[in-house]
Amino acid sequence: MRIVLDALCMEEKETAHTYLKEKLRLPDYYGGNLDALYDCLTDEEEMEIEVENREQAGKYFLRIWNVLLDAAEENEGLQLIG
Q: Is the pLDDT of residue 46 over 80?
A: yes
CATH of the domain at 31: 3.30.370.10
Give the model's pLDDT for residue 45: 86
Amino acid letter, residue 32: G
Length of the chain measured in residues = 82
Q: Is the pLDDT of residue 82 over 80?
A: no
* Angle at alpha carbon of residue 19, lines to 64 and 54, rounded to 5°: 45
Mean pLDDT, residues 39-50 taken together: 93
Number of compact structural domains in the chain:
1
- Work out whether strand 47-52 and strand 78-81 pair parallel, antiparallel, or are unpaired: parallel
Q: What span, in angstroms and rounded, lies between the C-alpha atoms of 13 and 26?
A: 16
- The domain in which residue 60 lies consists of 2-81
Which DSSP category does 10 fall into? -
As a whole number of angstroms, the distance between CA 19 and CA 51 comes to 13
